[in-house]
Structure 1
Amino acid sequence: MITRVKQVKTLEELTQAFTIRKAVFVKEQGISEKLDFDTYDPQAFHILVYHGENPIATGRLHMENKQGHISRVAVLKEFRGKGLGRLVVEHMEKLAIEKGMTSVFLYPHDYLKKFYTELGYCEVPDSKFWLGQHTLIKMTKNL
C-alpha cells in the first residue's frame, strides 16, 4: 500500500480529518459528535494519511501541561490491520519532538493497551475510566 503522511494545513484538509473521525468515532463507535469535536481542535496539530489521493487515517496532537496529548487516532475500517495506526502514532511523536515536547500521553480504549505497549507506552495505574459505553485508560511515553 502506497501511503503518504501530511500535516494538515488547510481547512479542506481539516475537514477531511473530521470526516474520518466522524466515520470511526461517531458512526462506528457511537461517540457523540459533541465529545469528539472539542475546543482543542482549533489549536491542535492534525495529520492525514493518504492512500493515493484519498485520506484514510488521521490523528491530532496538542500541548497539555507541557506534555503532548495524542488523540483522535482514527483509521477507516477498510484500511485497518495494515500498520496505519502505528504510522499515525509515530508521526505524531515526531511532530511532538519537533515542537519541543519531551513526553506524550493518550487515552486509548482499554482493548488497545497491547498495541500502545508495543509502541513503548506505559499505562498509568488506576487510570481507567468510562466514556459513555467505552472503557479508556491513560498511557504515557517519554520521547
Structure 2
Amino acid sequence: MSLGSAFAAHDTVHHKAREYARGPIHINSAEGFNDRIRRTVSGVFHHISPHLADLYFNEIGFRWSQRVVTGQAPRRTRKGRQVTNTLWARVPPALQLPAVFRSAVGREMRRTKAGGIDLLSKVAVFGS
C-alpha cells in the first residue's frame, strides 16, 4: 500500500501562521507517537542500536495501533478552556493474535523460554 492511498483524505495545519489545530485536524497523534517512542526507549529498552532500530520501531508501532477508543472525557486546561480528552484501552492479547499471524507468513514461529512467541525471518531483514 502506498502512503498516498492510505492518507488520501488527510489535512495539515500551518505552524508558521500560528495555526496548531483546526477542528479535528491537529498533529497530536504524531507528537503522541513520538512521545511513546521516547518513553519506551527510556523506560523499557534503554538503548536502541541503529541496526535493530527498525525492529524496535515496528514493535512500538504495532502496540500503538493495537488500542481502541473507549470514550471521551472533558477536562479544563491550565488557562481554563474546556477540551476533550480521548480515552484509550489496549486490545486484549487474544484479539491481537490474528494480526500477529498475518505478519507471520514466510517466517518461523517459535516459543520463547518465557512463554512468548518469536517470529524469525527466513531472509535477512536488513539485506545483509
Normalised by the size of structure 2, how large is the TM-score?
A: 0.32
- The structure with higher relative contact order (CA 8 Å, sep 6+) is 1
What TM-score, normalized to structure 1?
0.29
Larger Rg: 2
Write 1 or 2 for the structure with the bigger share of strand: 1
